Amino acid sequence: MLKSCSYCGGIHQFGYDCPKKPKRIKSTEGLMGEIHKARTTQRWFKVRDYVRERDQHLCQLCVRNLYHTLQRYTFNNTQVHHVIPMKEDEDRNLWYNSENLLLVCKYHHDMCERGEVPREEQLEIVREQEYKYSNY
């Protein structure tokens, strides 16, 4: 049976592996694989839960009414954000370090990932949260 190929526009036998088809990189290989594995460890779950508790399950940018906050107390769909991304931390010292982690909502997480929220400002918020929590 013949089928049209979405990669080259030609017609091939069904099951033919078109050379124009891009090769898939498995996420379990290399650095991305290590990052994926790190996010499934007990150590990560423990640190993640600590950060959520430290930040009172609230987006820390929304609480401070920063960067076009949509809702002041956002606790739904919050995510633990690595201020210095795991990809950039070659020594892996910051992967599980709460002083590099900040709880943010999806909206602000995307902004942080795009670099629209300065890292230094994120780190300042983290330092503030660590100080508050340690003196709580």
Q: The pTM is what?
A: 0.73
Predicted local confidence at residue 24, as pLDDT: 67
DSSP secondary structure of 26-43: PTTSHHHHHHHHHTTSHH
CA–CA gap between residue 45 and residue 91 (Å, rounded): 20
The pLDDT tens digits of the residues spanning 60-97 come to: 999 999 988 877 887 888 999 999 998 888 888 888 99
The pLDDT tens digits of the residues spanning 70-80 come to: 778 878 889 99
Whether 21 is covered by a domain: the verdict is no
Whether 59 is covered by a domain: the verdict is yes
Number of domains in the chain: 1
Full residue range of the structural domain in which residue 118 is found: 35-134
Whether 1 is covered by a domain: the verdict is no
Whether 65 is covered by a domain: the verdict is yes
Q: Which helix (H) or strand (E) holds 108?
A: helix 106-114
